[in-house]
Structure 1
Amino acid sequence: MPLLLLDLDNTLLDRAGAFRVWGQEFLNSISAPYDDIDWLISVDADGLTDRWDLADAIRDRYQLRMSVVDLVEELHDGVVAHSRLDPLVACSLRIAKDAGWVPVVVTNGAVRQQEAKIRRTGLDRYVADWVISEAAGVSKPNPRIFALAAQSVRMRLRGAWMVGDSPEADIGGAAATGLPSVWLHRGRSWLDDRYAPTRQASGVIPAVAAVLAG
């Protein structure tokens, strides 16, 4: 049985959409200008900005009396609360499992938030296991985290595929590990000449189809 390694944010779950919904609600709650959502999304940088730095930026911009700790909690809980599992994504995972693949989530991030997303959305019912960088002590693109994912389900990496949206963390990590990969381009062009994905797809559903066909 081959191993199917999958990124979480903006792959299995629409993290960008969840952040936008939370962000707009939060800005409304502090009476910020409606258009400030563009600033917030820009500073967030698709989740790459450290949560503490993002909280500091929000506090400074709006002169909030809320503590940084409370604001970080608000960020974590808000994104989790608005995360949803697309039924078609769940269906594609079920099809992959029926075809003999073993889906395992490999994600960077904090255990509390990432595991809450997986469990709250019901994603845990469709994957064999998950590895979160904070708990693993290593993050993508380090090949070690992919090895830990394989170990978590007592499998070898040979024959595995990686699916994700991050050029460096997911595709670079797969390349460093010697794995084929599918990049979710999300409307972007591939620019890195150090390595390249085996396939490109517009979303996780066609990505899983490409893996099964490949």
Structure 2
Amino acid sequence: MSAVIRIVECPSNSITVHRKGYQPPRTVWRLPDEEIRFTRPVRLLTMQRLALFDLDNTLVDRSEAFRRWAVEFCADRELPDDALAWLIATDQDGAVPRNWFFGEVTERFGLAASVDETWRQYRRRMPELVSCPQEVLASLTLLRDDGWTVAIVTNGQADNQLGKIRRTGLDRCVDAWAVSGELGIRKPAREILEAAARGCGLDLSGGGWAIGDSPVLDVEGGRAAGLATLWVSRGKDWPAELAPPNRTVTDVVAAVRVLRGEASAEGHPDQPPAAGVSGLTTVRRVVSESPRTPRGS
């Protein structure tokens, strides 16, 4: 959605515009004097209300579910005392490929079961151990009630990830999901984000937000797809070598509050405007990037 506006006068630090359907012209924004440098038509973009959420360690507590699985796994097989710490360290919070992980597990503990069978048992059990706090489900419901379209984008095997979505009740709180094991596409590829948007009857050309805990998969992937990004930090520091996200929060409930405009969050100066609102940031960007801007010439 967009509207073409024409700046017709710039008294003091205000912008007065002619806009179709509005007569007479009226002042609609106030900007610092230095931001107003010329009079010309500009296109004001409005971002669609699309929120693409990561699943593991964003909507659900995957780390705690894995720890519980590892405790059971060690107890059932009477593994040595250091096995639990080794499993948690080797898992790397789910960052390593599962076939590699279970290959390492099978070799270290000399398991009789095959790698594939141990991995299958894991995928059957994990959805039973994962939890989604009630406040997260309630937040997603409020977000959709506000007119947002919500989808889940997750890497992982279909049986495991779909089991988590359905057993936690998330399937009743979102409009669609895209699971890499079903699609054969993994984050951070743009295509899996596009698939999630299509599942909602939308496309990425209208913009939206990518929300998740992974700096690379969620934030870098979302930014590359042209989305605004909201990082769920879980108390961690942002990697210094990466460009920062548009917003940072500690958990997904806070992320929803930011999207709904109820709370502020850490961010950088080029934050996009809130979805659905013609934003002051957009005006500044259009003005400052114009080739007719005298500053810096």
TM-score, reference length from structure 1:
0.94
The percentage of counterpart residues that share the same residue type is 37
* Structure 1 residue 177 corresponds to structure 2 residue 234: no
> Measured at CA, do residues 194 and 49 of structure 1 come closer, stay the same or move farther in structure 2, by a change above 3 Å?
closer
Residue in structure 1 matched with residue 95 of structure 2 by the alignment: 48
Residue in structure 1 matched with residue 117 of structure 2 by the alignment: 70
Instruction: Give the superposition deviation at 1:192.
Output: 4.4
What is the aligned counterpart of 1:25 among 67, 72, 92?
Answer: 72
Instruction: After superposition, give the CA deviation of every residue in 1:75-103 in whole Å (9 maximum; x if it has no partner).
Output: 21221110112101001001101111111
Matched residues in 2 for 1:212 and 1:114: separation? 27
CA contact (8 A) 2:176 2:199 kept: yes
3-state SS in 2 of match to 1:174: helix
> Measured at CA, do residues 95 and 34 of structure 1 come closer, stay the same or move farther in structure 2, by a change above 3 Å?
farther
Structure that is richer in strand per residue: 2
Trace 1:99-138 onto structure 2 (pairs within 5 A): 99-138=146-185
3-state SS in 2 of match to 1:190: coil
Between the two structures, name the one with larger relative contact order (CA 8 Å, sep ≥ 6).
1
TM-score, reference length from structure 2:
0.69
Trace 1:135-214 onto structure 2 (pairs within 5 A): 135-157=182-204, 158-213=206-261, 214=274
Q: Which amino acid aligns with 2:249?
A: A
Structure with higher Rg: it is 2
Matched residues in 2 for 1:42 and 1:114: separation? 22
3-state SS in 1 of match to 2:150: strand
3-state SS in 2 of match to 1:197: coil
Structure that is richer in helix per residue: 1
Instruction: After superposition, give the CA deviation of every residue in 1:167-208 in whole Å (9 maximum; x if it has no partner).
Output: 100000111012111111122111144422111111100011
3-state SS in 2 of match to 1:104: strand
Instruction: After superposition, give the CA deviation of every residue in 1:128-166 in whole Å (9 maximum; x if it has no partner).
Output: 010011222221111121111111111132241111001
Matched residues in 2 for 1:174 and 1:105: separation? 13
3-state SS in 1 of match to 2:89: helix
Ranges in structure 1 where 5+ consecutive residues have no aligned partner: none
Matched residues in 2 for 1:192 and 1:164: separation? 18
Instruction: After superposition, give the CA deviation of every residue in 1:91-124 in whole Å (9 maximum; x if it has no partner).
Output: 1001101111111001111111111111111110
Structure 1, 81-90 or 29-38: larger mean CA deviation? 29-38
> Measured at CA, do residues 34 and 103 of structure 1 come closer, stay the same or move farther in structure 2, by a change above 3 Å?
farther
CA contact (8 A) 2:212 2:230 kept: yes
Ranges in structure 2 where 5+ consecutive residues have no aligned partner: 1-47, 262-273, 275-297
